[in-house]
Amino acid sequence: MAFTFGEIKNYLARDMRLSVRMLKGGDKDYLMVSDIPDGKYDDLIVYNLAEIKFIEYPEFGEYVPASSPKLSWMSNKPGIGFEITLCEQIPDYDDRDHTRTNGEQIVFRDLRNLLPMYGHCSVGIIGEGKEAFRSSRDIPESYNGKYLFGLGMEPDKTDITAGTYEYRYVVLLANRPRT
């Protein structure tokens, strides 16, 4: 059994910009996760998770480029969003393991295969601190039994020589399930 968007949606930061991409084509951008209508995409399977990209934002039914003055009120860098890829069923050519070891709660072991292989990430454990990694492959196996508490984005300050702050995805874990 794979994860559905209805399960993952509750763990996404509510104020995060989100681009929902369909594996077979098409995408829809949302200014906030909370802008997604209730029930929309809930039964679709999460194919891939947490890719950071530049996106455009809808406003009153029309798409507004990130550079538009209509978005000047946004405090952080507009155009950066979190992309999630959904599908109706896992394709035969995908050799990643999409099965879950825990049917009720999401543990990091099950989420690991959905994270992008490249790109900086940060993993925090409630009450234990946070650690940055160059890619999801570098995250130690010791995190596998931890429960998912949240997913989001934050500025990535690991490369200050470039003079720009890119974003990285954040996985927040806990030692016990979220209630």
Please provide residue 71's backbone torsions phi and psi, each rounded to the nearest 5 degrees: -105, 15
Within-domain flag for 141: yes
- In the chain, the number of structural domains is 1
Within-domain flag for 179: no
| The predicted structure's pLDDT at residue 147 | 93
Within-domain flag for 127: yes
Task: Give the Cα separation of 57 and 68 in Å (integer).
Answer: 10
Determine the structural domain holding residue 113 and report its residue range: 5-174
Within-domain flag for 24: yes
Of all residues in the chain, the percent with pLDDT exceeding 70 is: 77
Determine contact, residues 40/49, Cβ cutoff 8 Å: no
pLDDT in tens, 27-70: 888 878 888 888 999 999 888 886 666 665 554 445 555 566 65
pTM of the predicted model, to two decimals?
0.76
Determine contact, residues 149/107, Cβ cutoff 8 Å: no
pLDDT of 71 above 60? no
| The predicted structure's pLDDT at residue 149 | 93
Within-domain flag for 77: yes
